[in-house]
Structure 1
Amino acid sequence: MSDKKAQTRERILSAATSALLKRGPVDPSVGEVMSAAGLTVGGFYAHFESKDALMLEAFRELLSKRRVGLKMFDPQMSFAERRALAAQFYLSRKHRDTEDDGCPIPSSLSEVAHLPEGFREALEEHVELMVASLAGRPEEIDAVLSDMALMIGGLALARALGKGDLSDRVLRAAKKAVI
C-alpha cells in the first residue's frame, strides 16, 4: 500500500473511531465518516470492504488502545491497587468527555448482538484479555468481571447524562463501589 493510500485510510479510520465513540457502530453513515475525514464517499471502497468492516476495525483499534493503558500497572501492585487505579482512570471526567480516545464499549454494547459476529468476538477477546491483565489469581476473576460491568454501565450512564453534576455523581458513585 502506498504511503498516500495508507494515510488516507488512517484518516478514514480516525473519523470512524470518533463517530463510533459518540454514537456507536451503527448510526454513523459512510458519508458522515468520509466527510469528517475530508474525503468524498466515492473513495471509501478503495480502502474498506464495507461500513461494518470499517467500524469493526475502529472498534478493535479502540479496544486495543484501552489494553495498552494497562501497562501502567506495576506487576508488584496489589489487586486492590489495580482495581482502584482502573476505576480512577475509567470513571474519570476526562475519560467520559474524550471524543477520540475513549472506551467504545458504552456506545456500542447494545448494538453488538445485532452486528456481524466479528464485533462479538472482538468484545469477548477484549474482556478475556482485560480479565487476564487485572486478575492476578483465579479467585479474582469474578471481582474483575463485576468491576468491568459496573464501570462500563457507570460510564455509559455518565456519558448519556452529559457533562454536569448528576453525571459527575454517577462517576463518583461507581468509582466508590469499585474502590
Structure 2
Amino acid sequence: MNDKKAQTRERILSAASVALIKRGPAEPSVGEVMGAAGLTVGGFYAHFESKDALMLEAFKQLLGHRRELIAEIKNELPAEERRALLAAFYLSRKHRDNAEQGCPLPSSVGELTRLPEGFRDALAEHLELMMAQLAARPEESEKVLADMALMVGGLALARALGPCELSDRVLRAAKSAIL
C-alpha cells in the first residue's frame, strides 16, 4: 500500500473511531465517517470492503490502544494498586466527558449481538488480554473481570446521564466498589 493510500486509510479509521466512541459501531454511516475524514463516499471501497469491516478494524484498534495505555501503568506496582489507578482514571469526569478519545465499550457493548461475530470475538480477546494484563495471579482474573464489568457499566450509565450530580454519584459509587 502506498503512503498516500495508507494515510487516507488512517484518516478514515480515525474518523470511524471518533464516531464509534460517540455512538457505537452500528449507527454511524459511511457518509458520515467519510465526511468527517474530509473525503467523499465514492472512495470508501478502495480502502474497506464494507462498513462492518471498517468499524471492526476501528473497534479492534481502539481496544488495542486501551491495552497500550494500561501497559503504561507501572508494572512494579502491586496488581491491586494498578487496578485502583485504572479505576480512578476510567471512572473520572474527564474520561466520561471525553467524547473523542474515551473507551469505546460503553457505546458499543449493547450493539455487539446485532453485529457480525468478529465484534464479539474482538471483545472476548480484549477481555482475556486485559485479565492477563491486570491479574498478578490466575486466581485474580475473576476479580479483574468483575472490576471491568463494573467500570464499563458505571461509565455507560454516567455517560448516558451526562455531566450532572447523579452521573458524578454513579462514577463515585462504581469507583468505591472497586477501590
Aligned structure 1 segments of 4 or more residues deviating by more than 6 angstroms: none
Q: CA RMSD in A?
A: 1.0
* SS in structure 1 at match of 2:114: coil
**Alignment: residue pair count:** 179
1:8-49, CA deviations, whole angstroms, 9 ceiling, x for partnerless residues? Answer: 111111110010001100001101111111111111001110
Residues 16-25 or 73-82, more deviating? 73-82
For 2:137 and 2:38, locate their aligned partners in 1 and report how far apart those are by CA, in whole Å: 48
Percent of paired sites with the same residue: 70
- 2:87 paired with 1:87: yes
In the TM superposition, what whole-angstrom CA distance separates every residue of 1:28-77 from its partner, at most 9, and x where no partner exists? 11011111111111110011100000000110011001000122332222
Cα deviation, residue 100, structure 1: 2.3
TM-score, normalization by structure 1: 0.96
Q: Residues of 1 paired with 2:7 and 2:96: CA distance?
A: 28
What is the alpha-carbon distance in structure 1 between the residues aligned to residue 74 and residue 13 of structure 2?
32
Q: Is the 8 A contact 2:89 2:95 kept in 1?
A: yes
8 Å contact from structure 1 (residues 21, 104) kept in 2: yes
Verify: 1:161 aligned to 2:153, yes or no.
no
Measured against aligned partners, the alpha-carbon deviations of 1:101-146 in whole angstroms (never above 9, x if no partner) come to: 2211111101111211110110000000000010011221111011
- Amino acid in the other structure paired with 2:80: A
Residue 15 (str. 1) matches residue 15 (str. 2): yes
Is contact 2:24–2:107 with CA below 8 Å preserved after alignment?
yes
Q: Which amino acid aligns with 2:116?
A: P
Q: CA deviation at 1:5?
A: 1.2
Partner residue of 1:176?
Answer: 176
Distance between the aligned counterparts of 2:13 and 2:61, measured in 1?
A: 9
